[in-house]
């Protein structure tokens, strides 16, 4: 079956699954099972929507939220610094809205992701279906640290963590990662980040480094070029370490 697609008309955007119906204020859309990006679909009132393939940054806007989803920039930094790609096996916790897990699956990885809150996990599963990656992402309800002993040793290429108890999990990553595998941890506060970095070093991971990323929009107008007076804020510290 076809993947979910975006239906777009001006500011209206709907993420829908083929073979379903979507009610809008401009009429009902029947999405054919074989819908293709580039098609045009009319509502029963005759209003046209364009069909578009879903892209990574769309996940940020269209996934149902159970918290602040990871922004495309931070998804990219994780993927770039760990090299997530086709064939990778990823262990991820906590799932949250699921933008990171879905994005890594879209890059060809298979992902096992843990979410402690059962309701959030249900939403994340729906988001994986909407993202067209339900087959590639296994959303498990629970605390990953409880399951570590049941996970196969040296079976993950990358471990990604965005949880309050990340340090406890970081300590276990040398068992879980293949040689050369990476762990990536997002943490908003200095104190927890420090603990993550300390644990990574004590666990014998190599090349442990923590970076904060500051981004600024550039304003280009008739008067000249300058950094925006309304800069992009802090999201978190990213700690990367390698199993080697």
Site string for its own copies, 137-166 (x = CB under 8 A): -----------------x--x---------
Single out the residue of 162, 182, 186, 199 in contact with its own copies (rule: CB under 8 A).
Answer: 182
Q: Are 32 and 19 in contact (CB under 8 A)?
A: yes
Taking the C-alpha atoms of residue 29 and residue 93, their distance in angstroms, rounded to an integer, is: 36
* Omega before residue 94 within 30° of 0, cis: yes
Assess 39 for contact with its own copies (CB under 8 A).
Answer: no
Q: Does the footprint of its own copies cover residue 206 (CB under 8 A)?
A: no
94-113 mask for its own copies (x: CB under 8 A)?
---------x--xxx-----
Residue pair 122/140 in contact by the 8 Å Cβ criterion: no
Instruction: Out of 9, 22, 50, 65, point to the residue binding its own copies (CB under 8 A).
Output: 50
Give yes or no for residue 78 binding its own copies (CB under 8 A).
Answer: yes
Say whether residue 46 binds its own copies (CB under 8 A): no
Give the integer Cα–Cα distance in Å for 142 and 121: 9
224 part of the interface to its own copies, by CB under 8 A: yes
Sign, CA torsion 87/91/95/99: negative
Q: Smallest distance, Å, CB 100 to its own copies? A: 10
Residues 6+ apart with CB under 8 A from 135: none
């Amino acid at each position: 079956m076809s993947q979910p697609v975006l239906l777009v008309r001006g500011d209206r955007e709907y993420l829908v699954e083929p073979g379903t119906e979507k009610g809008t204020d401009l009429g009902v859309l029947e999405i054919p099972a074989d819908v293709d990006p580039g098609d045009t679909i009319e509502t029963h009132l005759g209003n046209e929507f364009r069909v578009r393939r879903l892209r990574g940054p769309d996940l940020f806007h269209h996934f149902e939220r159970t918290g602040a989803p990871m922004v495309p920039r931070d998804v990219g930094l994780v993927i770039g610094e760990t090299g997530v790609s086709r064939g990778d096996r990823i262990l991820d916790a906590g799932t949250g809205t699921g933008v990171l897990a879905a994005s890594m699956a879209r890059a060809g990885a298979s992902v096992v992701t843990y979410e402690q809150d059962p309701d959030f996990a249900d939403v994340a599963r729906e988001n994986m279906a909407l993202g067209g990656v339900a087959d590639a992402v296994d959303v498990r309800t629970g605390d990953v640290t409880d399951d570590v002993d049941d996970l196969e040793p040296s079976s993950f290429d990358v471990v990604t963590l965005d949880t309050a108890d990340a340090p406890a999990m970081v300590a276990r990553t040398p068992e879980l990662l293949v040689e050369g595998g990476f762990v990536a941890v997002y943490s908003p506060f200095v104190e927890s980040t420090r603990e993550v970095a300390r644990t990574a070093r004590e666990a014998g991971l190599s090349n442990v480094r923590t970076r904060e990323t500051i981004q600024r929009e550039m304003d280009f107008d008739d008067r000249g070029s300058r950094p925006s007076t309304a800069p992009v804020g802090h999201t978190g510290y990213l700690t990367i370490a390698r199993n080697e």
